[in-house]
Amino acid sequence: MERRGSGGIAGILILAAFLLLQWDGLAGKPAPDFKLDQAYGGRVDLSTYRGRPVLLAFWLTSCGICRHELPLLDRLGPEFSARGVEVLAVNIRDLPGAREYMASERLHLTNLIDADGETAERYGVSGVPKLVLIGADGKIRKSAAGYQNEKTLREWMTSVAR
């Protein structure tokens, strides 16, 4: 018996699953505040960025996709910082690994450590990388899990830049 249309249905289901993973319902909600240690000393309080857009990039040292995306964010960071958008990398639970990776790749992103994973939990991180774009008003504008290419990142940051 020949199965017609099952490829189309499978494709639709795969696309629906992908879109569901991309959408997490955070858009429009106030960004949960946090205070996290930086990998090399100091502490960052998200509330000090009020009035400026912020892109949070949640990552794990064991995540290959994260290791691909962070250098791209590092390259785009200065350009968008000059336009008022701050990029903060938030490593989940691995201070030594985060320090080693950032140093070995010579990345200059502000690297925060979510030592207990509580901040990631408050942002609904169930997979990494996860990006969360916060507007100058402190509300979440966009949020997505999975790799975002340069075009998408530029679109996101341009949408909130001055």
For strands 130-134 and 54-59, give the pairing: antiparallel
Is the pLDDT assigned to residue 15 strictly greater than 60?
no
Average pLDDT over residues 28-53: 95
- How confident is the model at residue 11, as a pLDDT? 60
Is the sign of the CA dihedral 160, 139, 54, 56 positive or negative? negative
pLDDT at 12: 65
CB 160 within 8 A of CB 53: yes
Query: What is the rounded CA–CA span in Å between residue 54 and residue 73?
Result: 12
Assigned CATH class of 6-160 = alpha beta
Cis peptide before 30 (omega within 30 of 0): no
User: 132 forms bridges with which residues in the sheet?
Assistant: 56, 143
Give the pTM: 0.85
Q: What confidence tens digit (pLDDT) does each residue in 144-161 have? A: 999 999 999 999 999 999
pLDDT confidence of residue 9: 74
Alpha-carbon dihedral of residues 104, 39, 111, 45, nearest 10 degrees?
-170
**For residue 19, pLDDT beyond 50:** no
Average pLDDT, the chain: 89
Mean pLDDT of 16-36: 75
